[in-house]
Structure 1
Amino acid sequence: MNIETQILHQDEVALLEESTDLRNLIVYNDDVNTFDHVIATLIKVCGHSAEQAEQCTLLIHYKGKCTVKVGSYEELTGMCTALHDKDLSANIE
Structure 2
Amino acid sequence: MPHTKEYSSPFAQEEVLVDEDKPFSLVVWNDDVNTFEWVIETLVEVCGHSYEQAEQCAYIIHFRGKYAVKEGSYDELKPMCDAITERGIGATVEQLA
Q: When the two structures are superposed, what TM-score results if normalisation uses the length of structure 1?
A: 0.78
- Give the unaligned 5+ runs of structure 1: 1-16
Q: Please name the residue that 2:52 is paired with.
A: 51
**Which letter maps to 1:89?**
G
Distance 1:41 1:19, change over 3 A: same
Q: Please name the residue that 2:26 is paired with.
A: 25
Any idea what SS the aligned residue of 2:79 has?
A: helix
Distance 1:72 1:80, change over 3 A: same
1:66 pairs with 2:67: yes
User: Any conservation in 1 of the 2:81–2:93 contact (CA below 8 Å)?
Assistant: yes
Instruction: Give the distance between the partners of 2:34 and 2:25, measured in 1 at CA.
Output: 21
1:38 pairs with 2:39: yes
1:78 pairs with 2:83: no
- Give the unaligned 5+ runs of structure 2: 1-17
1:19 shift after superposition: 2.0
1:36 shift after superposition: 0.3
Structure with more of its chain in helix, by fraction:
1
RMSD of equivalent CA atoms: 1.8
Paired-residue identity, % = 52
Distance 1:20 1:46, change over 3 A: closer
**Which letter maps to 1:28?**
W
Distance 1:19 1:35, change over 3 A: same
Greater gyration radius: 2
Q: When the two structures are superposed, what TM-score results if normalisation uses the length of structure 2?
A: 0.75
Instruction: Give the distance between the partners of 2:39 and 2:72, measured in 1 at CA.
Output: 20
